[in-house]
Amino acid sequence: MAFALSAEHEKELERILSRYPNKMAACIPVLHLCQDANEHWVSDEVIAFVAERLGLSTAHVAGVVTFYHLFNREKPGKHQVWVCRTLSCALRGSESILRHCEKRLGVHVGGTTPDGKVTLRTSECLASCGSAPMMQVDKTYHENLTIEEVDRVLDDLLKDS
């Protein structure tokens, strides 16, 4: 099924285009807009849509999508959790946080809970080294984590219907 944006998102697309001297520059922001409107993933239909709207080849858009980690080529869970595991976080216990998330959610890193609610991922440095360990849940940072805090955050996600 062809992908389309809502009228409100179309307006946002126009706003994005107005910021740049050419349409190609809007590629990444427009892909974000479409991914957010498409249950957090970039399907072939989204690629075709972006290519058509920005006057680019689908090969160019696909090349961009596959270069950047934050564009999903498969549909993730309703919520995405990234546990930072780079050195500063690792020195403050990110490994224990990650193991606990795996146990609590019953999935390995990269997996999605069977009810489709939460996808667990690791992340490289998220610029939160002074408040390590930390994790990102959707668009929010949770910092200075303890196991209790992780439980509280994950419980909220799993309860969300």
Partner 1 sequence: MLKRTNYLSHSYDKPDGHTLAAYEQAGGYRSARKVLSTLSREQVVDEVKKAHIRGRGGAGFDCGMKWSFMPKESKKPHYLVVNADEGEPGTFKDRTIMERNPHALIEGCIIGCYGVGAHAAYIYVRDELHLSKARLWAAIEEARAKGYLGKNPFGKNYEVEVYVHTGAGAYICGEETALLNSLEGRRGEPRLKPPFPAQVGAFGCPTTVNNVETIAIVPSIFQVGGDEFSKLSALHEWNDGGVRLFGVSGHVKKPGIYECAVGLTLRELIYDLGGGIIDDRPLLGVIPGGSSCPVHLPDEIVDVPNDPRFAPYNGKSVLDLPMGVDTLRGVGGMLGTCCAIVMSDAADPVLALHNLMRFYRHESCGQCTPCREGCGWIERILDKVIEGRGSIEELNELHEIASNITGNTICAFGDGAAQPALSFVRKYRKQLEDYILRGGQSQTRTLEA
Residues engaged in binding partner 1 (CB under 8 A): 19, 21-22, 24-29, 31-32, 54, 56, 60, 63-64, 67-71, 82, 85-88, 90-93, 95-96, 123-132, 136, 139-141
Backbone angles phi, psi at 129, to 5 degrees: -65, -30
Measured from the CB atom, is 43 or 123 closer to partner 1? 123
Task: List 81's β-bridge partners, or say none.
Answer: 120, 137
| CA–CA dist 52, 22 (Å, integer) | 14
- Minimum distance, C-beta of residue 149 to partner 1, in the bound complex (Å): 17
Which ranges of 2-111 would DSSP assign to H, the alpha helix? 7-17, 27-37, 44-54, 58-67, 87-90, 94-105
Measured from the CB atom, is 52 or 124 closer to partner 1? 124
Task: List 119's β-bridge partners, or say none.
Answer: 80, 112
- Minimum distance, C-beta of residue 86 to partner 1, in the bound complex (Å): 4
| CA–CA dist 3, 89 (Å, integer) | 39
- Minimum distance, C-beta of residue 116 to partner 1, in the bound complex (Å): 22
Measured from the CB atom, is 74 or 95 closer to partner 1? 95
Measured from the CB atom, is 4 or 91 closer to partner 1? 91
DSSP category for residue 112: B
- Minimum distance, C-beta of residue 127 to partner 1, in the bound complex (Å): 4
